[in-house]
Structure 1
């Protein structure tokens, strides 16, 4: 669920970041938004294996047709649908980025 149209929260509803102790990637430091590397680091920090991290993260790294369908069939006004879709794609792009 994307609450960004209705609230003033940080990206990914992560006000304050993923973790107080997590070392942020270069992208997170420069842009203020976590990328794939930050979620992988967070998974490792909480004790998940690489296999589980990949399994849980991979669905979020590609555009989901179900999301597009839900947005198009929603009762949102057309402008809000465009904003929702734009917000979804921007977050998808941010999550796909890889730090250097």
Structure 2
């Protein structure tokens, strides 16, 4: 079995929008995702996961090109104006590409 290329979308954002964000990315074509707590420092200052309103999450989604563009555009249109968020896309090699 040879690896196949898929897109890895990574979204780092405010934990307060986790539930609606996950519903949206599924509706936009994600078959699955991984969510982890995140902390760090950026343009809007230092954020840690110790206080709910100040918590961040990291959402990772493996998908095909079409789903990646739909999720990228949908998330940008719905959330970028009002929430701290970064989203980046990478090409990755995966086994069992039919899962993504």
TM-score with structure 1 length normalisation? 0.27
TM-score with structure 2 length normalisation? 0.27
- Over alpha carbons, which structure has the higher Rg? 1
Greater fraction of residues in strand = 2
Larger RCO (CA within 8 A; separation ≥ 6)? 2
